[in-house]
Amino acid sequence: MITPAEFVPEWELWHARRQTSVAAQHGPLTLTGTHWLLYGDTVIDGVPGTWRAEDGKVRLTGGEGLTGDDGQAVSEGLFGVHEWLHHGDVDLLTIQRGDDLAVRVYDPHADAVARFTRIDAFAPDPRWRVEAEFVPAGDDESVHIAHSNTAREEDYPVFGTFVFEVDGRRAEVVALHSGAENGAQLTFRDGTSGRESYGAARFLFVTAPPAGGPVVLDFNRAQLPPCAFSDAFVCPLPPPGNVLPFRIEAGEQQAISEN
| Span 207-219, pLDDT tens digits | 999 999 999 999 9
Sign of CA dihedral 88, 58, 157, 170: positive
Burial class (CB in 10 A: 0-12, 13-18, 19+), 171: buried
Percentages helix, strand, coil for the chain, rounded to the nearest 5?
15, 45, 40
Alpha-carbon gap, residue 69 to 219, rounded angstroms: 38
pLDDT of residue 200: 95
Question: Given a cut of 80, is residue 1 above it in pLDDT?
Answer: no
Question: Given a cut of 90, is residue 189 above it in pLDDT?
Answer: yes
| Span 9-46, pLDDT tens digits | 999 999 999 999 999 999 999 999 999 999 999 999 99
Beta bridge partners of 103: 35, 94
Looking at every residue in the chain, the average pLDDT score rounds to: 95
| Span 113-165, pLDDT tens digits | 999 999 999 999 999 999 999 999 998 999 999 888 877 888 999 999 999 99
Question: Smallest Cα–Cα separation from 28: which of 16, 18, 37?
Answer: 18
